[in-house]
Every structure is written in structure tokens, then in C-alpha cells.
Amino acid sequence: MNKSEKALNELKKGIQTYVNRMLELAPFDKTMVGIVKTAYDNNLYTVTVNQQDYNNVACLFKGLINVGDVVKVRIPQNNNNLMYIEGKLNAEVQGGGGGGTTNYNDLSNKPQINGVSLSGNKTTSELGINMPTKTSDLTNDSGYITNEYVYSKTQTDSLLNEKQDDLNLSIVDGQICITYEE
């Protein structure tokens, strides 16, 4: 790496550090994920967010939050003093409908591929997906070389010995390129 590249990398790091710091301080609402560490009788909690404990955090849902619950924590205007627990990260509190299932097979309106419901283990043929098994099954619509060039090691060594004075080795985009002139 030359001096210019090193200088550009350091400049990039400095800009990224500055942008991260400005985002950290920007006055907008943030929603974070936390874990309830302690529950107090007065609907206040100690919550761990990003490995930092916050004490006396109020909760919108009285009596529904327990120690160990994973919760959504809102930080209005990026002010930690206004932080509150918005709810648990599960359907009971967030969805308002309660219940639900944890068994995929109990769900209705499962996704489908080619009209086949995605349940259990399905093969590509059961899903109506025909996968080519040979390159000859594919269409050469990009114009790739289609002739076969198969050389034995002896033929390759012979060809290289014949052409060694005409070979040009170069590195382009990290790849070794070999060219020769006839």
C-alpha cells in the first residue's frame, strides 16, 4: 500500500468516526432492544441496552414485564433520561391479539412456490422447479466459448516450450494473465 492509499484509508476512518459520533448524538427517537435486569414494585425497571444498565426505566405496560424479558426500549430525542420500555418482543404485548402459535404446520396461508404449499421437506421437482443437471442443458445466450479445448500435460508442456519466447505474463485486477503472439 502506497502513501496515498494509506492517507485515504486514514481519512475514510476519520470521516466514519465523525459520522458515527454525530449519529450517536443526533436528536431523534431511537428504538433499541434491551433485557430487563431488575423489576421494582412501582413499574420501574433496570434494563440492559448495548451492555449498559439503565436504572428507573418506566414501562407502558404495568405488570406485564418480568426480569429476563427481551423488550423494546424507546429513547425519545436521543435523551436517555426520557427512556421507557415500549413492550416485550413477542406477540402478546406488541400484536394486541394474544395467542398465536410456534408451530409452522399450524399456520394458515403458508407461502407457496408454483402453487405448492411450503410445508415439510419438498424437493425441487415437487415444487415444479426443473434444475439443469448438465451444462449442455443450459442455453449459451451470452456467447461463451463453446469449443472444447482439452490438452494432456504433455501437449500443454510441448505448447508452452514452443511458445515460451512469445508468452507475456501480466497481472490484471489480481489475476495472472498469459498471452502469446503467433
| Confidence label for 37 from pLDDT (cuts 50, 70 and 90) | very high
Q: What is the rounded distance in angstroms from the CA atom of residue 42 to the CA atom of residue 115?
A: 54
Give the pLDDT score at 96: 45
pTM greater than 0.75: no
Does residue 48 have a pLDDT over 90?
A: yes
Query: Residue 34 region, left (φ>0) first, then alpha (ψ -120 to 50), else beta?
Result: beta
| pLDDT score of 99 | 52
Q: What mean pLDDT value characterizes the chain?
A: 76
Count of domains forming the chain: 1
Question: CATH number for the domain including 50?
Answer: 2.40.50.140
* Alpha-helix residue ranges (DSSP H) falling in 26-129: 91-94
**Does the residue 56 lie in any domain?**
yes
Write out the three cell numbers for 123: 424437493
In a domain, 57, yes or no: yes
For the chain, helix, strand, coil in percent to 5 are: 30, 30, 45
Span 139-146, mean pLDDT?
A: 67
The answer to whether the beta carbons of residues 11 and 19 sit under 8 Å apart is: no
- Domain membership of residue 74 (yes or no) is yes
Over the stretch 79-138, which tens digit does the pLDDT of each residue have?
888 999 988 876 444 444 445 566 777 777 778 888 888 877 888 888 888 877 777 777
Q: Is residue 132 part of a domain?
A: no
Does the pLDDT of residue 76 top 60, yes or no?
Answer: yes
pLDDT at residue 27 is higher than 50 = yes
Q: Which long-range contacts (CB under 8 A, 24 or more apart) does 46-49 make?
A: 47/71, 47/73, 47/83, 47/85, 49/73
Residue 18 resides in a domain: no
